[in-house]
Structure 1
Amino acid sequence: MRWLEARLAGGQDLVGPEVLHDWVEQARSKFDGATVTDFVPVLVEREVRRRLRATRGEVDLVAWARETAQRLLATGLPRRWAHTQGVARQAVAVAPALPPRDRPVLVASAWLHDIGYAAELAETGMHQLDGAAFLLRQGIPRRICALVAHHAGASAVAELIGLSGRLAGYADERTAVRDALWYCDMTTSPDGEPVSFAKRMAELRARRGPDDPVVRALAANEKERAAAVRRTEKLLAAAAA
């Protein structure tokens, strides 16, 4: 199958030769017991090209997420854009600990998590919901919309400001991807620098003040935020072992 790998490699730059080799072998193994093998190379090529098309879609989604966040935040909200870039860097570092199908979901969600702060998207005043609603209108996968909607303990904030009904329209998946997004956000400062969870929470309280709904919601969601951070730290430790 080396000739097939060379042929496939010549028409794409999305994955490296080792990954391509693995994909070819995985596709070929489906036909190990076949009595007629004349069409196996054609079927293997078809399967690998299907995976390459799916990968192209994932790459395009992440690129769109980055460009959209930059368009909405970089000029009007430069500090928020700096934070977003830092969260995305964290996501790229964390992503290899997740299954391959979940990696672009995390990175795209990281780029998009705070776009709801952009003035042109403001509708409810709750950035998680406003960002998710915009993404839904753009046809972005509902899973990413929901991750954006629920990040940073959004349910407790929504309860305080009377938007729980709106938030209920998005499923809170409570998975390692959701934890990782929260981790990336909760360990990145407003200026985009890595920071401990404790320092991030202290900075949030100092910056927003005790009457802000986000700070008031910490009474309900700070432990949940901390648990997501701990679970992601364990995931990263296991992946590094």
Structure 2
Amino acid sequence: MITSADDARLLARNMVGDIRPRWDHVQSVGQRAEDLCNTAGLAERVAVAAWLHDIGYGHAIAHTGFHPLDGARFLVKHGAPAEVIRLVAWHTGAGFEAQERGLLEELDAFAQPPADELDALTMIDLATSPTGEPVLDVKRIAEILSRYGDGHPVHEAVQNSRASLLASSRRAKAALGLPQDWPVCC
């Protein structure tokens, strides 16, 4: 049963702790989310989801190649709270990638999470480089596009969702009282 950020951290370490630099990214996303719980009133379930957002990359979990869906399905089997599962399933433009991969019907099996919580998780994910360093959201999107070539489902999804992702990040920063250049500024 996953009831806290500590539980989520342990599960994430078990699932992706041996995948570098993925684990570096996950640790920073999780820690930033926990920090925002303490300083900006972020809901703890967002921190739990932050720790778990990339577990679908785990070797034992990756079945479809679409990590939000694989992670969410795994979490259902392991008794995670529904709100956390929904955040993992839909994080950081997952609907766009599901469309590219022909998996939108499968993703739609999970209800969409509250927009403000999804915005916060997206903001934190986009503020963290693959190796865990703070980065501006626009630079993170550029990095993702450069890492995945034209025609790759991730590239196409991020290209198509760029405006939506940046708007989500802006909304979360405003809602949490953060400067628009967070976390680089702080």
Unpaired segments ≥5 residues, structure 2: 180-186
* Matching of residues 78-157 of structure 1 within 5 Å: 78-95=20-37, 96-98=39-41, 103-157=43-97
Letter in 2 for 1:93: D
**Structure with more relative contact order (C-alpha pairs < 8 Å, separation 6 or more):** 2
How many angstroms apart in 2 are the aligned matches of 1:160 and 1:97? 35
Q: Following the alignment from structure 1 to structure 2, what is the Cα–Cα distance between the partners of residues 89 and 209?
A: 30
Q: C-alpha offsets along residues 12-41 of structure 1, whole Å, 9 cap, x if unaligned?
A: xxxxxxxxxxxxxxxxxxxxxxxxxxxxxx
Matched, 1:68 2:11: yes
What is the distance in 2 between the residues matched to 1:110 and 1:157?
19
TM-score of the superposed pair, with normalisation by structure 2: 0.89
User: 1:87-146 CA deviation, whole Å, 9 max, x = no partner?
Assistant: 112212322433xxx622011100000000011001211000000000000111111111
Task: Return the structure number with greater helix share.
Answer: 1
- Greater displacement, 198-207 / 217-226: 217-226
SS at match of 1:94: helix
Aligned mate of 1:158, from 95, 98, 111: 98
Q: Which runs of 5+ in 1 are unaligned?
A: 1-56
Superposition RMSD in Å: 1.8
Match for residue 110 of structure 2 among 145, 148, 170: 170
Shift of 1:79: 0.6
Cα distance, 1:198 vs structure 2: 1.1
2:165 corresponds to: 225
Q: CA deviation at 1:236?
A: 2.7
> What is the CA distance between 1:210 and its match in structure 2?
1.6
- Tell me, yes or no, if structure 1 residue 187 matches structure 2 residue 127: yes
- Aligned pair count? 178
**For the Cα contact (< 8 Å) 1:114–1:127, is it kept in 2?**
yes
The amino acid of 2:149's aligned partner reads G
Note if contact 2:61-2:71 (Cα within 8 Å) is conserved in structure 1.
Answer: yes
**1:197 Cα shift?**
0.7
Residue 54 (structure 1) aligns with: none
CA contact (8 A) 1:94 1:180 kept: no
For residues 155 and 40 of structure 2, the distance between their equivalents in structure 1, rounded to whole angstroms, comes to 31
Flag as ranges the 4+ runs of structure 1 deviating above 3 A.
none
Pick the structure with greater CA Rg.
1
Whole-angstrom CA distance in 2 between matches of 1:137 and 1:78: 25
The one-character-per-residue Cα deviations of 1:186-237 (angstroms, maximum 9, x if unpaired) are 0100010110011101111111122221110123311111111101111232
Match of 2:149 among 209, 225, 228: 209
Amino acid at match of 2:177: A
Quote the offset at 1:180 in angstroms.
Answer: 0.6
- CA–CA separation in structure 2 for the residues paired with 1:202 and 1:106: 25
In 2, Cα distance between equivalents of 1:71 and 1:64: 11
Q: SS of the residue aligned with 2:43?
A: helix
Q: Which amino acid aligns with 1:66?
A: R
